[in-house]
Structure formats: C-alpha cells, structure tokens
C-alpha cells in the first residue's frame, strides 16, 4: 500500500485529491490489516485525502453500519482517515426493503461517522417494486427524493457519484444472470439509475427537486 500510494503520488502529484485505501473490509479484512493499510498510505507522504469505502452503511440498520462506525472511530483516533466513501446502493439487498429507512435516519447515521462523507456508487434497485413500468419509476423517484433529503440533511456529504448513468449499463442489470447478483437482489429489470436508454427518468427529477429545495431552505 505504501509503495502503491507513493507511485500514484509521484506520477500524478496534486491531481489526485482522494484515495480509497481500503474497499469493503467486510469481505474478510481484519481491523489490524485495515490499520496497517492506512499507516502505509500515510507513510507515502501523499497530500491526497485518505478514505475507507463500504456498502450498505447509509442507514442505521445497514448490514455493516455498526462495524464501519467502530472502524472509522478507531482510524480517526489514530489520525489515519480523512473521509468515508458510503456506497449508496439503495435497496441493494432484498431484506433492506423491510427495514424502516427514512431521511432522518439516513442523516443521523451519516453524521455519526464523524468524518466527511462521499456518497459513491449511488443507485436504487427497483427489482422488488411492483406495478407498471411507470408506477415503478414513480416509486423509485419517491425513494430517491427521500434518500437524497437524508444525504442533504446530514450536512456532512461533500460529494455524490452514481454507479453508472444508464440502466442498461448497471452492474445489477448486467450481472443478473449470475447467481451472485440474483442473491443480492439483481435482475434484468433492476433499472437502478437516473437514465434509461439515454432519457431522463423520474429518478433524475426527484434528485433535482431535493437539491433545489435544500438550496432554497438556506436562503
């Protein structure tokens, strides 16, 4: 990690603003390994912000929320972490649908990490939504509005990235023929992104509404 971070810094210099040092530690990394990775990155002398990335942690009942809170706190105490990349795969897992998620819950959860947040890999899986295509689009838009309000209310989100742009390119859609993705709730009609065949969906406009309302509330 130290050598790799040094090589990136040497080649790109200040053009690299952030580096994800560890991605999805839940797959089997120990706390000691995560700490060692961040220590290595710090020794490389980079000016880039160093972050941790994890999935299913944007709400209090997320599968890895408590585990990530403890890990971020430990890294903070050691002066090793600058930000947390929260992979915003909303409704990624089937059991997430039954959990009580609200904009207030999302905002509180993100604030409790105690570091700046980048929402990365944002999408909203519609596999388990019912009704016609239009009805599913509207349900997705309502969910997008609620989730986005949570991001904004937190006051700690400093960036947001989507995990793709168009439905046809989504990891959930393209991987749905593999059992791994089916187990995670993926399907050929997951349609989790703001565009479909190049056209803006209700999802897109719901995000704009949340953003504009947030801006107006601060004027």
The pTM assigned to this predicted structure is 0.92
pLDDT in tens, 153-206: 999 999 999 999 999 888 887 765 666 666 666 677 889 999 999 999 999 999
Q: What is the SS3 assignment for 54?
A: strand
Provide DSSP, 125-166: --TT--S-HHHHHHHHHHHHHHHHHHHHHHS-EEEEEES-SB
Structure tokens at 103: 């904009």
∠ CA 25-99-159, nearest 5°, is: 50
Q: Provide the pLDDT for residue 176.
A: 59
pLDDT in tens, 59-90: 999 999 999 999 999 999 999 999 999 999 99
């Amino acid at each position: 990690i130290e050598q790799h971070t040094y090589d990136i810094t040497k080649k790109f210099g200040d053009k690299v603003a952030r580096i994800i040092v560890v991605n999805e530690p839940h797959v089997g990394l120990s706390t000691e390994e995560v700490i060692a990775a961040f220590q290595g990155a710090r020794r490389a002398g980079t000016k880039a912000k160093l972050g941790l990335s994890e999935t299913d942690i944007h709400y209090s009942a997320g599968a890895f929320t408590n585990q990530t809170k403890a890990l971020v706190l430990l890294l903070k105490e050691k002066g090793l972490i600058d930000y947390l990349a929260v992979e915003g795969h909303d409704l990624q897992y089937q059991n997430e649908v039954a959990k009580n998620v609200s904009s207030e819950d999302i905002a509180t959860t993100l604030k409790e990490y105690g570091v700046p947040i980048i929402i990365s890999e944002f999408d909203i899986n519609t596999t388990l939504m019912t009704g016609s295509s239009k009805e599913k689009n509207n349900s997705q838009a309502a969910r997008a509005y609620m989730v986005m309000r949570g991001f904004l209310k937190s006051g700690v989100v400093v960036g947001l990235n989507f995990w793709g742009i168009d439905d046809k390119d989504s990891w959930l859609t393209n991987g749905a023929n593999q059992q791994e993705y089916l187990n995670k709730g993926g399907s050929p009609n997951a349609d989790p992104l703001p565009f479909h065949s190049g056209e803006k969906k209700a999802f897109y406009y719901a995000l704009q509404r949340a953003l504009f309302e947030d801006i107006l509330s601060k004027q």
